[in-house]
C-alpha cells in the first residue's frame, strides 16, 4: 500500500503548470494572510507610540533569526524527504522527518536561553531611549521563551508541503495568523477585561497563534500525512540523515543569519540619522512582506517539486517548473513595484505616521522597490540550489547581496548626510547579486540537471 502511495505522488505525474498552482496557491494564500498579520500587528503597535514601532524594528533581526533556524532546518528536511519519496525510499523519508524534529528542538533551547539571558544586552547596544529598550525587551523575551510553537508549526508545515499536502499547510498558516490578528487589539490595547499590555501584548498574541498552528500541524501530520511514518525510533540521530539535512539547512540558516546581521547593521546606520528612519525601515519590511511572502510560498512549492523530480530523474519537469515559477514570481513582484511607486503615501498612512516618517518612508518605498523584479528571479533560482542539495550557493548569493555589497554601500551613502541616499544601496546590491546568481545557476544546471537529459 505504501509503494502505491509513493508511485502516485502528484509531484511526479501532474502537469507542471497545474501542479505548481495546486501546490503553491494554498501556500501563497496562507503567506498573504501571514503578511496581513504582520501589517495589522504593526498598525496596532503604531497606535501605542513611534518608539514602539522602532522597538519592533530593532527586534526584527532576532525574529528573523528565529524564523531562519526554523525554516532553514525545515528546508533541509523538505529537500531530503522529497528526494527520498522520489526515490521510493520510505525508511529514508521517515528518518528525515524524525531527525528534523530533533534538530528543531535543539534550536528551540538556544533561543529560550537567549530570551532569558541575552535580550537586555542586545537592546541596550542599539538604543538609549528607555521606552524603545524596555518595549523591545518585553516583546523579544516573550517571543523567544515561547518559541517552540513557531518551530513546531514551521517544521509541521514543511512536512505537509514536502508530501504535497499544501492545503493543510494553508489552513495551519491562515489559522495562526487570523487568531493573531484577532488577539492583537485585545492584548495590546486591552479588551474584555484584559489589561492593555502594549508591545508585550503583540508578542502574547503572536505566540498564542503560533502554538495553535503547531497543534494543528501535529494533528494534520498524524492524521492525514500517510507518506510519513512517525515513530520514536526515527528521532535517533543518524549521520546519513543529519548530514544531508544540515548540508541544505545550514546554508539556509546562514542566509537568514546574514539577513539578521544586515538588519542589525542597517539599524545602526539609520540610527545615526534619527530613530524615525529606523522605524521606517521596519515598516518597509512589513509592507514588502505582502509581496515577498507569496513569493516565498511559490519558492517552497518549487523546492518540493524540483527535489522530487530530481530524485525521480525527470529533468524536463525540473526545467518546466523553473520557467513557470519564474514567470509567476516576476508577475507578483511587478505588482509590488507598482504599488510602492504609485501609492507609498497610502501604504504608510496605515501606520499613524508623523510628517518626518511619511517623508522618509515615501522615499524609501519608491527607491527600494526598484529591485523587486530582479529579486523574483534570484529567489526562484535559489530554490533550485536548495532542492538539488547545493544550499551553499544560496549562501554565497546572500552574502554578496546583504553583507559584501548592501551594508558597505549603505554606509558609504550615509556619509553624504542624506538618509534618502541610503535606500539606493538595495537596488545596487540586488543587481550585483543577480550576476552572481546567474553564474552559479548556470554551473549547477550543467552539473546536475543537464546530465539527466542524456540518460
Cell of 10: 502528484
pLDDT at residue 166, rounded to an integer: 67
Nearest-5° angle of CA 58, CA 45, CA 41? 90
What are 185-209's pLDDT values in tens digits? Answer: 999 988 888 888 888 998 999 999 9
Looking at the chain, the number of H-run helices and the number of E-run strands are 20, 0
**What is the four-CA torsion angle of 387, 393, 399, 404, rounded to 10 degrees?**
-150
Measured distance CA(3)–CA(128) in Å, rounded: 62
At 274, phi and psi to the nearest 5? -170, 160
Output the tens digit of pLDDT for each of the chain's 455 residues. 334 344 446 766 777 778 877 777 777 776 777 777 778 878 888 888 878 888 888 888 888 888 888 888 887 887 777 777 777 777 777 787 778 888 888 899 999 999 999 899 988 888 777 888 888 899 999 999 999 998 998 888 877 876 767 678 778 877 888 888 899 899 998 888 888 888 899 899 999 999 999 999 889 888 877 767 776 777 777 777 788 888 777 877 877 788 788 888 898 899 888 788 888 988 898 898 888 888 888 887 888 888 888 877 888 888 888 888 889 899 999 999 999 999 999 999 888 888 888 999 999 999 999 999 999 988 888 878 878 877 778 778 888 888 889 999 999 999 998 999 999 999 999 999 999 999 998 888 888 888 877 76
Measured distance CA(55)–CA(313) in Å, rounded: 49
Residue 198 · residue 187 · CB < 8 Å: no
Residue 315 · residue 449 · CB < 8 Å: yes
Report the chain's C-alpha Rg in angstroms: 21
pLDDT at residue 426, rounded to an integer: 94
Measured distance CA(320)–CA(306) in Å, rounded: 10
Measured distance CA(310)–CA(86) in Å, rounded: 8
Cell of 299: 519558492
Cell of 422: 541610503
Measured distance CA(212)–CA(196) in Å, rounded: 22
Cell of 388: 538539488
Residue carrying the nine cell digits 508541503 = 161
Torsion region of 194: left, alpha or beta (phi above 0 gives left; psi -120 to 50 gives alpha): beta
pLDDT at residue 359, rounded to an integer: 92
Q: Which residues contact 393 (CB under 8 A, 6 or more apart)?
A: 251, 382, 385, 440, 444
Q: How far are the Cα atoms of 26, 37, 42, 313 from residue 169, in angstroms, in the given order?
A: 7, 17, 25, 27
Write the DSSP assignment of 27-38 as a string of letters.
HHHHHHHHHHHH
Measured distance CA(277)–CA(268) in Å, rounded: 10
pLDDT at residue 108, rounded to an integer: 93
What are 344-389's pLDDT values in tens digits? Answer: 999 998 888 888 889 999 999 999 999 999 999 888 888 788 788 7
Amino acid at each position: 500500500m505504501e509503494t502505491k502511495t509513493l508511485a502516485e505522488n502528484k509531484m511526479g505525474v501532474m502537469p507542471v503548470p497545474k501542479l505548481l498552482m495546486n501546490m503553491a496557491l494554498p501556500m501563497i494564500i496562507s503567506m498573504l494572510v501571514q503578511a496581513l498579520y504582520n501589517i495589522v500587528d504593526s498598525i496596532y503597535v503604531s497606535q501605542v507610540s513611534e518608539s514602539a514601532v522602532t522597538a519592533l524594528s530593532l527586534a526584527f533581526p532576532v525574529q528573523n533569526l528565529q524564523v531562519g533556524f526554523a525554516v532553514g532546518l525545515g528546508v533541509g528536511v523538505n529537500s531530503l524527504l522529497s528526494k527520498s519519496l522520489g526515490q521510493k525510499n520510505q525508511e529514508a523519508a521517515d528518518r528525515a522527518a524524525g531527525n528534523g524534529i530533533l534538530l528543531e528542538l535543539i534550536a528551540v533551547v538556544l533561543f529560550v536561553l537567549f530570551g532569558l539571558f541575552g535580550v537586555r544586552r542586545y537592546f541596550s547596544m542599539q538604543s538609549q531611549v528607555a521606552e524603545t529598550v524596555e518595549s523591545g525587551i518585553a516583546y523579544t523575551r516573550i517571543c523567544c521563551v515561547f518559541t517552540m510553537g513557531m518551530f513546531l508549526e514551521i517544521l509541521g508545515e514543511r512536512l505537509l508541503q514536502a508530501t504535497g499536502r499544501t492545503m493543510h499547510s494553508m489552513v495551519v498558516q491562515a489559522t495562526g495568523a487570523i487568531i493573531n490578528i484577532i488577539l492583537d487589539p485585545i492584548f495590546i490595547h486591552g479588551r474584555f477585561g484584559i489589561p492593555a499590555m502594549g508591545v508585550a501584548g503583540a508578542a502574547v498574541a503572536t505566540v498564542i497563534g503560533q502554538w495553535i498552528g503547531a497543534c494543528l500541524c501535529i494533528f494534520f501530520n498524524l492524521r492525514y500525512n500517510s507518506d510519513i511514518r512517525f515513530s520514536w525510533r526515527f528521532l535517533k540521530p543518524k549521520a546519513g540523515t543529519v548530514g544531508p539535512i544540515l548540508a541544505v539547512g545550514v546554508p539556509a540558516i546562514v542566509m537568514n543569519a546574514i539577513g539578521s546581521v544586515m538588519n542589525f547593521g542597517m539599524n545602526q546606520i539609520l540610527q545615526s540619522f534619527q530613530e524615525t528612519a529606523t522605524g521606517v525601515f521596519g515598516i518597509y519590511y512589513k509592507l514588502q512582506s505582502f509581496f515577498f511572502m507569496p513569493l516565498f510560498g511559490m519558492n517552497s512549492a518549487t523546492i518540493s517539486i524540483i527535489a522530487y523530480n530530481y530524485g525521480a530523474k525527470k529533468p524536463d519537469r525540473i526545467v518546466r517548473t523553473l520557467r513557470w515559477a519564474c514567470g509567476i514570481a516576476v508577475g507578483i513582484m511587478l505588482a509590488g513595484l507598482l504599488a510602492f511607486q504609485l501609492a507609498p503615501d497610502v501604504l504608510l498612512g496605515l501606520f499613524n505616521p508623523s510628517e518626518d516618517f511619511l517623508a522618509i518612508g515615501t522615499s524609501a518605498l519608491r527607491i527600494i522597490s526598484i529591485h523587486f523584479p530582479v529579486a523574483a528571479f534570484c529567489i526562484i533560482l535559489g530554490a533550485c540550489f536548495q532542492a538539488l542539495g547545493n544550499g551553499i550557493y544560496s549562501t554565497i548569493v546572500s552574502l554578496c547581496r546583504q553583507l559584501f555589497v548592501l551594508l558597505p554601500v549603505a554606509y558609504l551613502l550615509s556619509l553624504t548626510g542624506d538618509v534618502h541616499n541610503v535606500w539606493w544601496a538595495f537596488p545596487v546590491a540586488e543587481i550585483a547579486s543577480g550576476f552572481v546568481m546567474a553564474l552559479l545557476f548556470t554551473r549547477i544546471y550543467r552539473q546536475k540537471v543537464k546530465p539527466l537529459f542524456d540518460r
